[in-house]
Structure 1
C-alpha cells in the first residue's frame, strides 16, 4: 500500500485567472483542501515553505489549523528551510502543532531551495559561523532541532522561578512524544540522503535531483533511495524509515482536464539551479489507462512508501479535489496502491 497525499506550494496572485488572489485566500483554501482530501480518502496534506514570495511561508499556524479541522490525514511540510529557523523556537511550535493534531505531523525540513532575495536568512538574524556555508548552517540548525525534539532536559532552572519546576534540567515545552521520528529531510543528492539516514530522519525526494549520472530522473532517484536505505541499515536504527517522492500526475477524465494538462511535459528536463546541474522529473498527464502503464515504469515510485502529488492550487479547491479524486479512483487501484 502506498500512502498518497498532496503537496501544495501555496501560490497566490492578484491575477483574475487565479482562485487564490491573496495570502488569506491561499491559507484558508489550504485548510479547506486538507479537509476535503481527508474526506475522499487521501493520506496526507503537505505544504511547501518559501520566504519572501507570494506563496505559503510560516507553516505552523497553518499546520495547527489543519490539525484542528481534521482527524486522520497526515499533515506535513516539504520543506522548511532550516537556514531561517531558530531550532528551539521551532521545537516549541512543532510540539504545539503536533499536539493539536494528535500526533499526525510529518515535518519535512532541509537546507532549502533557491531564494527570492540575496541571503534571505540574514534578514531573519542568522549567519553561517566562520568556515561554514549556508548549507552547513542549515544542517547545524537541523541537528539542534532534532536534539530538542528528544525531550531531554538541557537548561539550568532558575533558583527562584515564577512557577515551580520539575526536578532536574528543563526541556523545551510543549513536548510531543514521537515527533522526532516523524521528521524528514528533503534531499537533492545521494550524499545528503545518506547523511539524513545517519541522522535518523525519513527521506523526502522531490521532482528535482542533482544530476549525478546522466540517467533518467526516476532511475537516479531510485538509486538515491536505495543508498539511503543501505545507510539507514548500517546506522543500526531500530525503526523502519519512510520515504516519499513527489510527482505531478494528472488523470485526464474530462474536457477541463484536457484543456489544462492535455499537452503535458512527457520528458525529463536538465538545468542549472544554485550552480548545480539538476535533472527535473517529467510530469504525467494522460487518460487513466495510459497513465497506469507509464507509472508502472517509474522506478522511484516503486521504491517509496509515500507519494506526494503536486497540485495546481491556484485553480481552486474544487478542481484540486477533482484532481486528487481522479488519481485515487481511476489510477491508484490499478497500480495496487489502493
Structure 2
C-alpha cells in the first residue's frame, strides 16, 4: 500500500496534524503521512497501534473521496462480512425474541447465513445495530389493554370536566411484593452505578425481612384516617380518590365511610393486572424513587435508622423536587400483548 502526496498536500497535512486536537482525525492524518513517507501498512499499524485492515481501509477511503471527506466523521465504516440485508435480518430476529448471550446470536448467524462470527465481534455488531445488554422488564402476563385504555379515557374526561371545587388523589397502600410499593424492606438491594472496571462495590446486607409499612397518596397518605386528614386540608371540596382493587379499599369500613361522606367518591383502577395497575398509578413512581434514593445499596445498622432514612425522604422531599416533577405526571403506559 503506497500513497504519494504532492508537496502542497503533504505540507498542508503536516500543518493540519500539528494543530489537530481530535485523536481520531490526528491518527487518520498520520496514516496518510506515514504511507507517503514509504512505510508499509504493517509498519504504520505497529507504530500507531492499529490493525492492518484499518490502515488499508483508511488509505482506500482517502484515495476514493479525498482529504476533506476522508477527515469527516460521518463516512460509513467497514461493516464486516454481512450485507445490509443480512444486518437488517439480524436486527429483526434479535428484536423478535430474547437472546441472552452473544454466542446464541452468533449461532443463529452461522446457521442462517453460513458466516462464522466470534462472540466478541457479535457484541460489536449488536451495538452497531442499536442493541444494549440490560435487564428485562417484568410486566403482568394477563394485562387487558382495552380496560386500561377505557380507564385512561374516563380519567381524562374526569379531569376535563372537574371544576376548581374538585380535588383528585391517587392512593396506594399495601402493595404486591416484598420490597415493592409502600412496604420497604429493612435490607439493601443491588443498584446500578458507575464502578471501576475490575472492581466491586460491596454493600452489607441484613438478615430477616422486617418491613416498614407506609400508606400514601400523591397529595398525602391513605384510607380513612388519611382521607379525613385530607378533608381538613381541603374543607368543602369534592374529593375523588383513585385506588387499586386491594381488599381494604373495598372493605365494609370504607363503604360505610363513603356513605357518610357523599362528597367523596372512589374511582377504581381496572383489574387488568391482578388487583393492581401500577402503570396507571403515578404514586408507584414515588415508591420507585424512594427505593432508589433511600433503600437500594444503602446500609442501615438498625431498623430505627432505616425508618429515619425513609422519613427523611418525605420530610425533605424538596431535595428531589426535579425528579418528582418529572416522574409524577399524568402520562400513562398501557401494558398488553
TM-score (norm 1): 0.21
Structure (1/2) with the larger helix percentage:
2
User: Which structure has greater strand proportion?
Assistant: 1
